[in-house]
Amino acid sequence: MDLLHRTHMLDASPVSTPSSSKRLSLTDGTPLADGTEYRSVVVALQYLTLTHPDISYVVNQLCQFLHSPTTVHWVAVKRILRYLKHTPTSGLFYAPSSLNLVAYCDSDYAGDPDTRISTGGTCIYLGSNLISWSSKKQNEVSRSSTETEYRQLAYTAAHLSLSLYP
């Protein structure tokens, strides 16, 4: 709520999803005259991903444009803020649960319109509690969607083994 107040978005109409389906690109929109507010809000949103993993993916996308944000990127930031207004009581809550460790992963194939690099995501649960998650670009361009999925599966397995045996 403090972030909504700081950005003058308390009266904005809420939305039910944190992003539109359109992928963001470096060339979308016109450059902002001063990107200071964009950077400040995106960093605050990055902090919010600790308790709101549902915005992690889109915040990760917006972080890629900190060096040269555009009007389209700023509209995407405002959409996240409108989503947060729609979901003020949601977030991570931890409850007693079993000690079963379960991991999920997924990736897109060549999803970045500028570099054609895939993005992968991982969620790790201890019982019913989400304990770790990540969303990041893969290191190189994959030749197929199968290769992209395999890379993400290998990353998830490595992440799990490091979690279990540091």
Please, which pLDDT band fits residue 166 given cuts at 50, 70 and 90? low
Structural contact between residues 158 and 117, judged by C-beta atoms closer than 8 angstroms: no
Q: What are the domain boundaries of the chain?
A: 2-86, 101-164
Give residue-wise pLDDT tens across range 15-61: 999 988 788 899 989 999 999 999 999 999 999 988 888 898 899 89
Cα separation, 60 vs 57, whole angstroms = 5
Give residue-wise pLDDT tens across range 87-140: 988 887 788 999 999 999 999 999 888 889 999 999 999 999 988 888 888 999
Assign residue 138 a region: left if phi > 0, alpha if psi is -120 to 50, beta otherwise?
beta
pTM value is 0.67
Buried b (16+ CB within 10 A) or exposed e, 121-133: bbbbbbeeeeeeb
Cα separation, 84 vs 52, whole angstroms = 9
Residue 87 half-sphere exposure toward CB, CA atoms < 13 A: 18
